[in-house]
Amino acid sequence: GWGSVTKDSVGVVASVDGSSANIDFPEQTGWTADIDELEVINQPSGTQAAPATVLKSGDRVRVKASVTNPKNGWGKVARTSVGLVKTANKFEVIVDFPEQADWPGIPSELEVVVNTKATQQLKKPKQAARKKHEGAVVKTDLTTIACSSTKDGPIVVGNASELLITVGKDSNDEPLSVSVRGPMMPGPMEVVDNEDGTLSVWFTCRTMGKYEFDLSWGSVPLKESPFVVDVVNMIVNDPTKVSIDPVPAEGIIDVQIPLNITVAPGAGSGPPIITHVSGPAEPSSIECAPSVAGKYFGNVTYSKAGTYKLQIGWGDNSSNINGSPFEIKVEASQKS
């Protein structure tokens, strides 16, 4: 079958085994076909093919947008996840993602995420009344320029957070420079003069992971800079906003039963967790992976007739989606 590949797709041969070839297309990796079904596309004269990206330990990577289903599955990793390469060779890459450590992938499925950088500057603050703000903050101690906090708490995706800089009276009139490196540029990020001898660096992180804040007074880095901040995701999952259509109620042995899951806005990050509850035998296969935004496509296959119960949770096994657990009656053959 075509899978996600079209007649206009151009891919790279990953391996050849006898009369068949394994091709990595932008739309689908690990695609297999007979050699006589393929044709070689010559590179236009005067051009060169782009060299393959060589991944190395410590690279920040994510799954390419063109990859629908990674060869080894998604596991707990999401399409927006950014992880660090642990080990890599030309056949396999092991990545530590925030959601799953030691995730196995292949080089052609991954792309390097270049550290984004945001910079703000503001000169020595005025001495006036401190403005009141809410939000998580980061603590540290500097010498003349001190970075302290007014409220402790975790740095959470989507929440406004603050670095509070206290500037001593004896400091010179240099600008404060703030540079941020991380999985995704915080937005919005601004430096505010509180008019009481302090500066606030306000930022909102849009994805979890490790961020580094470089602070300097003029051209001189401040003590303990860069500040390393671990941003966590504390989004609450709401399984009532997750549904499946059609509802799995019946099937035939050795034939895939579709599991098409729709996620409404406000449901959280999930992901769906499919669990066999009861029945004459374990399923011969259960698959589920993200597709387009707000959709997960999966299937379950049984090799023995009987009545089964299948549970679909959202984020964990105890948070059932609408209608779960589902009772599925599996027949030996199609009803006449």
- pLDDT over 80 (residue 331): yes
Cβ atoms of 144 and 176 within 8 Å: the answer is no
User: Among 269, 267, 271, 260, which residue's Cα sits nearest to residue 242?
Assistant: 267
Residue 117 · residue 185 · CB < 8 Å: yes
The residues, ordered by sequence, that sit 6+ positions from 327 with a Cβ below 8 Å of its Cβ are 249, 307, 308, 309
Where is average pLDDT lowest: 38-42, 82-86, 88-92, 327-331? 38-42
pLDDT band with cut points at 50, 70 and 90 for residue 172? low
pLDDT above 90 covers a percentage of the chain that reads: 15
Question: What pLDDT does 124 receive?
Answer: 45
The yes-or-no verdict on residue 49 having pLDDT over 60 is: no
Radius of gyration (Cα) for the chain, nearest Å?
Answer: 26
User: What mean pLDDT comes out for the span 26-42?
Assistant: 72
Query: pLDDT tens digits, residue range 178-190?
Result: 888 887 777 667 7
- Is the per-residue pLDDT at 129 higher than 60? no
Rounded to two decimals, what is the model's pTM? 0.36
- Alpha-carbon distance of 81 to 183, in angstroms, equals 9
Query: Residue 116 above 80 pLDDT?
Result: no
Q: Which of 20-34, 46-60, 73-87 is predicted most confidently?
A: 73-87
pLDDT band per the 50, 70, 90 thresholds, residue 139? very low
Assign 229 a pLDDT band (cuts: 50, 70, 90): confident
> Among the listed ranges 131-140, 176-185, 316-325, which one has the minimum average pLDDT value?
131-140
Asked if the model's pLDDT at residue 199 lies above 60, the reply is yes
Looking at residue 41, its pLDDT comes to: 62
The pLDDT of residue 121? 46
Q: Which amino acid is at 29?
A: T
Section 90-95 average pLDDT: 84
End-to-end CA distance of the chain, in Å? 28
Least confident of 44-58, 140-154, 276-290: 140-154
What confidence score (pLDDT) does residue 279 get? 92
The pLDDT value recorded for residue 312 is: 92
Q: What amino acid is encoded at 143 in this protein?
A: T
Structure tokens at 115: 């550290």
Asked if residue 115 has pLDDT above 70, the reply is no
- CA 107 – CA 88 distance, rounded (Å): 8
pLDDT of residue 143: 44
Q: Provide the β-strand partners of residue 23.
A: 13, 31
Q: How confident is the model at residue 51 (pLDDT cuts 50, 70, 90)?
A: very low
Q: Which residues partner with 309 through β-bridges?
A: 278, 327
**In this structure, how many other beta carbons lie within 10 angstroms of the beta carbon of residue 261?**
23
* pLDDT of 305 above 90: yes
Q: Over the chain, what is the mean pLDDT?
A: 75
Mean pLDDT of 155-173: 73
Q: Give the span between the Cα atoms of 52 and 227, in whole angstroms.
A: 34
- Say yes or no to pLDDT of 126 above 50: no
Angle at 184 between CA 179 and CA 187, to 5 degrees: 70
Q: Provide the pLDDT confidence category of residue 48 given band limits of 50, 70 and 90.
A: very low
Report the range of poorest mean pLDDT among 72-76, 221-225, 237-241: 221-225
